[in-house]
Amino acid sequence: MTPLLDAVPFARTLGIAFTSVTPTSAVAVLADDPRLHNHVGGPHAGALFSLAETASGAIVLAAFGAVLDRCVPLAVRAGIGYQKLALGTVTAHATLARPAEEVIAELDAGTRPEFDVLIKLENAEGVQTAEMTVTWTLRPNR
C-alpha cells in the first residue's frame, strides 16, 4: 500500500490501487465495481475524478516527501474533461508537469509554489476516456 492510501481512507474505500509511483509519474487503477456505476453503466464521474486526483496526490507525496516537514500539499483547483464512456477497469496515468526541483526552489525562496499534475484516464483497451489537470500548492507551515 502506498503512503497515500494510508493517509487517504477515501481512496481505499473506492478500491483504488497503484501499479506505479515515482516522483514524476503515477499509475492508479479503479477496478470495475457495480457499486460505483452511474446511470449508463460506467464508473460514476465522481469516482473517475477521485481516481485521477488520487493519482496526482501520489506523485505529490513521492516528489515532495522530503519537504513535507515544512509544508502541506493542497489541491488548489482541478478541471476534468470527460471524453468517452469509461466501461470496465479504468487506469489513471499521471505526470508532474514541471521539475520538482523548480517547485522546491520556490518554496525555499519563501513563496507558495503552484504546480500542475496532468492525468489521462484510459479504459481497459487503452482508449483515453478523460483527461484532468490538478493544480497543487505547497503551503509553508507557519
CATH code reported for the domain at 3-140: 3.10.129.10
H helices present in 15-116, as ranges: 45-64, 100-108
pLDDT reported for residue 66:
96
Domain ranges for the chain? 3-140
Average pLDDT over every residue of 98-105: 98
Which grid cell sits at 107? 518554496
With 50 as the cut, is the pLDDT of residue 1 above it? no
Biggest CA-to-CA distance, the chain? 49
- Give yes or no for residue 79 having a pLDDT over 50: yes
Give the residue-averaged pLDDT of 82-90: 95
Number of C-beta neighbours around residue 105 at 10 A: 12
Query: Can you spell out the DSSP letters for 93-117?
Result: EEEESS-HHHHHHHHHTT---EEEE
pLDDT at 2: 65
CA separation for the pair 18, 74 (Å, rounded): 21
Averaged pLDDT, 119-126: 96
